[in-house]
Amino acid sequence: MFSKDGFVMAVPMPFNPCHFCRAECCKTYTITVTAFDMVRIVKHTGKKPGEFAVLHEARLLSYDPDLVLDFSDHPRGHLLGIRSHPCTFLERDRCTIHDCAPLSCRRYPFQIDGKFNPRFCPLPSQLFFKFRAPDIGTEQLLRELESYKKLVKEWNKKKGTKAECLGFLMERAKRAGSPKRKKAQTTP
């Protein structure tokens, strides 16, 4: 299907292009998450945040500084993430939590701005993704990121210890709730 301007529009498909993959993105990327992602994963898996979540030292070339968590007992900022390399929820090259996976995972290989970046996707997956919308729409992702940035800002004003951080984020995210998920219906 084509839009008025001639660009291919992504449309939802029941087929998952990741079936052609060996999960290179799940094995290679540091997977950052929001506190709302953590709440969904805890609810779905019954695991405690400390079993899968980790605070990664922010040693990346590019990241949103509004997502960096500061601590009173550690000199460098950190980003909330999942135990990665490979992802702790990866089994036999398949995601075991796809239904509640972090929004960044559900969006991949589409970036926040909607650009297509299939760096680790095999060619058959890339072709299918060109005709498939991401599982999570841009507006929903941006709403959740903005809500999470408010939690980070609240934490950074408090500036507690690293050990207190996950509990604080979980409690605040549960209290705030997260936007309802819905599949994207238009271009990424």
pLDDT tens, 125-172?
Answer: 888 887 777 778 888 889 999 999 999 999 999 999 999 999 999 999
Q: Is the pLDDT of residue 14 over 70?
A: no
CB-based contacts of 153, cutoff 8 Å, min separation 6: 66
> CA-to-CA distance for 137 and 131, rounded, in angstroms?
15
Q: What is the DSSP string of 166-188?
A: HHHHHHHHHHH--PPP----S--
The tokens describing 174, both together, are 């549960």
Quick one: pLDDT at residue 11? 44
Assign 180 a pLDDT band (cuts: 50, 70, 90): low
d(CA 48, CA 87): 16
Using pLDDT thresholds of 50, 70 and 90, give the confidence band for residue 185. very low
Res 15: pLDDT:
63
Please state the separation of Cα 21 from the chain's center in Å.
19
3-state SS assignment for residue 33: coil
Q: Round to the nearest angstrom and report the end-to-end CA distance of the chain.
A: 14
| Main-chain dihedrals φ then ψ at residue 162, nearest 5 degrees | -60, -40
DSSP 136-157: S-HHHHHHHHHHHHHHHHHHHH
Output the pLDDT for position 40.
Answer: 96
Average pLDDT over residues 17-45: 90
**Is the predicted pLDDT of residue 108 greater than 90, yes or no?**
no
pTM above 0.85, yes or no: no
- Both tokens of residue 108? 């991949």
Could you tell me which residues are beta bridge partners of residue 57? 78
Output 95 or 11, whichever has higher pLDDT: 95
The length of the chain is 188
Whole-number Cα distances in Å, 75 to 79, 122, 155: 14, 40, 15
CB atoms closer than 10 angstroms to residue 80: 25
What does the pLDDT read at residue 178? 62
Give the pLDDT confidence of 77-103 residue by residue, as tens digits. Answer: 999 999 988 999 999 998 999 889 998
Q: What are phi and psi of 33, to 5 degrees?
A: -135, 175
How many helices (DSSP H) and strands (DSSP E) are in the chain? 7, 5
- Residue 162's pLDDT is what? 94
How confident is the model at residue 90, as a pLDDT? 94
* Rounded Cα gap, residues 36 and 181, in angstroms: 12
